[in-house]
Amino acid sequence: MKRTTRARAWRWGLNAAVVAVIALIALAANWENIHENFWNSGGVALDGGNWGDLITIGAVNTVQYTAIAFAGGLAFALVLALMRLSPIATMRWLATGYVEFFRGLPALIVIIFMGLGVPIAFNWQPPGGLVGAGLIALIMVGSAYMAETLRAGIQAVPKGQMEAARSLGMKPTATMFKVILPQAFRIVIPPLTNEFVLLIKDTALLSVIGASFDERELTTVARDFLASGPSAGTATALVQAALIYLVITIPLTQLVAWQERRQRKATR
């Protein structure tokens, strides 16, 4: 067989195998059970039941919380990254200690401590109630990850860029903010997108510390529908929430990838 013929045969074989596996799974599934337990509107049309609260409360809050946690986390991460690159040893140690500490803890534990532990330990309630405390926890954890990403991005900008700016007489701060960081951010867009998506999903952890009816994020709303509403007793609301998460995350990553391709075409 010629090499191209063989390659084509391989490709067709692979495609056929994939179709076969999907067909097998579809045949093995108990569709009746699935329909009853995972996609059961309880006699009410689905759009009249869960979708309303899932979208207008859950999805809206999830997007808002993610935006707040990401913006706050990124701003704090920038401070940490600059500290890690500081010529002052104390700054570097502080930042390294912070990053190692919060990167090594499960976000869930930090959320519980911020929401329930800190008010007891310090007689102080973080602003924004339990949700506010949870968001601060997400910012603290997220910034530890993003600081490392930013530091890598800053270090990936060629040394000559700093030298060129300094040789023109630009001050270190101006060099950092006008020459180095704009290039560093471009380098870290893919890993930052990744961290944004992780953060969207991490907002689901806020469901452990409780929130008022209108403050609930997507997973909390879905969980509440497990016990109440037309689909109570089935996992339908979780499946609906899962679909909403995908509707948020997939277009987002595609948008960033498209933007990145466009950017690359312009500047390199």
Partner 1 sequence: MTAMPARQAPEAGSVPAIDVRGLHKSFGENEVLTGIDFHVDPGQVVCVIGPSGSGKSTLLRCVNRLEEPTSGEILIEGIDICDPEVDLDEVRSRIGMVFQQFNLFPHLSVMKNLTLAQRSVHGRGKAEAVEIARRNLAKVGLDHKEDAFPAHLSGGQQQRVAIARALSMEPDMMLFDEPTSALDPELVGDVLGVMKDLASEGMTMMVVTHEMGFAREVGDKLVFMDGGVVVEEGVPEEVLSDPQHERTQAFLSKVL
> Which stretches of the chain bind partner 1, using CB under 8 A?
158, 160-161, 163-171, 174, 178-179, 182-183, 186, 266-268
2 vs 159, beta carbon nearer partner 1: 159
Residue with structure tokens 């911020």?
A: 114
Tell me, rounded to whole angstroms, the distance of Cα 98 from its chain centroid.
20
Which tokens in the block code for residue 58?
Answer: 């859950």
Tell me, rounded to whole angstroms, the distance of Cα 40 from its chain centroid.
29
248 vs 256, beta carbon nearer partner 1: 256
**Least distance (Å) between residue 262 CB and partner 1:** 13
**Least distance (Å) between residue 152 CB and partner 1:** 18
**Least distance (Å) between residue 175 CB and partner 1:** 9
180 vs 206, beta carbon nearer partner 1: 180
**Least distance (Å) between residue 5 CB and partner 1:** 41
HEC profile of 28-65: HCCHHHHHHHHCCCCCCCHHHCCHHHHHHHHHHHHHHH
227 vs 266, beta carbon nearer partner 1: 266
Cite the DSSP H helix spans in 123-203.
129-156, 159-167, 172-175, 181-202
